Amino acid sequence: MRIDILTLFPEMCNTVMQESIIGRAQKAGKVEIVCTNIRDFAGNKHNKVDDTSYGGGMGMIMAANPIYECYKSLYNETEEKPHLVYLSPKGAKFNQEKAVELSKLDRLVLLCGHYEGIDQRVIDEIVDEEISIGDFVLTGGELPALTVADAVCRMLPGVLSEDICFEDESHFDGLLEYPQYTKPAVWHDREVPEVLLSGNHAKINDWRRVQSLEITMEKRPDMLCMENLSEKDKKLLEKYYKDNI
């Protein structure tokens, strides 16, 4: 898979994407991440990519043409148009399901906005979908783009050592993750749950499932979809309700 990030700050994006798991995945050829500077397509001697807003108002707007030319430089007319995502507070909320969906693409382009936004006409012309990482405003689209890129890369074959590395994580199966513990068995008089020391993997798996259900019920009840739960899960939830009423 190739991920292109269109940005005014390519060094910032490269710094993050070249580290840790994603950096190793790039070196191993599991994914290619290319950060392109929109200013390189400004078309003027000062590399100016923004201007005042028609109708007045505070702040500057990123102009359409530098973004358009930057995007067009990524592929030839004979190639299939890459899927372009604009990171925007107006977009649909990003989640694990969307990360999995985007990971199935061969090519993904992430567009980072700045200032007060970008010219609506370039959105209408080339953007396939808008994505938001939350109900808050940042100074630019770089952090959201890096968030999406990281989440998508982790779903690619070979990026993590084993599929179970992400299958057991929060949100992958619609539940929050169970608590995790490591050595020592007692820390500050707090003991690791006895079941985790038992060696009985069936009981450990049941305990972890109960914990995931309880934590999700307590912290994110909006995530629980009863229709997707097994009969065993439903019985565990019924017991949880009875024990906590």
Tell me what pLDDT residue 155 has: 95
Residues 227 and 113 in one domain: no
Q: Identify which of 100, 97, 70 has the alpha carbon closest to the alpha carbon of residue 86.
A: 70
What is the CATH classification number for the domain harbouring 72?
A: 3.40.1280.10
Q: Last residue of some domain: 124, 153, 182?
A: 153
In angstroms, rounded to a whole number, what is the distance separating the alpha carbons of residues 94 and 148? 8
Residues 21 and 123 in one domain: yes
User: Is 161 part of any domain?
Assistant: no
Q: Identify which of 10, 29, 138 has the alpha carbon closest to the alpha carbon of residue 70.
A: 10
Q: What is the mean pLDDT of each run of 10 residues along the chain (245 residues)?
A: 98 97 96 98 95 91 97 91 96 95 98 94 97 94 98 95 52 78 94 95 90 89 77 79 66
Residues of 47-77 as b/e, b for ≥16 C-beta within 10 angstroms? eebbeeeeeeeeebbbbbebbbebbeebeee
In contact, 215 and 176? CB cutoff 8 Å: yes
**DSSP letter, residue 63:** -
Tokens of 152: 């998508």
Residues 61 and 122 in one domain: yes
Q: Identify which of 146, 145, 151 has the alpha carbon closest to the alpha carbon of residue 96.
A: 151
Tell me what pLDDT residue 240 has: 63
Q: Last residue of some domain: 153, 185, 201?
A: 153
Domain range for 234? 168-244
Q: What is the domain count for the chain?
A: 2
Residues 145 and 176 in one domain: no
Residues 6 and 50 in one domain: yes
Tell me what pLDDT residue 225 has: 74
Q: Which residues contact 231 (CB under 8 A, 6 or more apart)?
A: none
User: Is 107 part of any domain?
Assistant: yes
Residues 86 and 144 in one domain: yes
Q: Last residue of some domain: 125, 153, 181?
A: 153
Tokens of 93: 């909320």
pTM comes to 0.83
Q: Give the CA distances from residue 80 to residues 57, 77, 94, 105, in Å, rounded to whole numbers and listed in that order.
A: 38, 8, 25, 12
User: Is 159 part of any domain?
Assistant: no
Tell me what pLDDT residue 245 has: 56
Q: Identify which of 75, 4, 8 has the alpha carbon closest to the alpha carbon of residue 40.
A: 8
Residues 54 and 145 in one domain: yes
Residues 178 and 66 in one domain: no
Residues 30 and 137 in one domain: yes
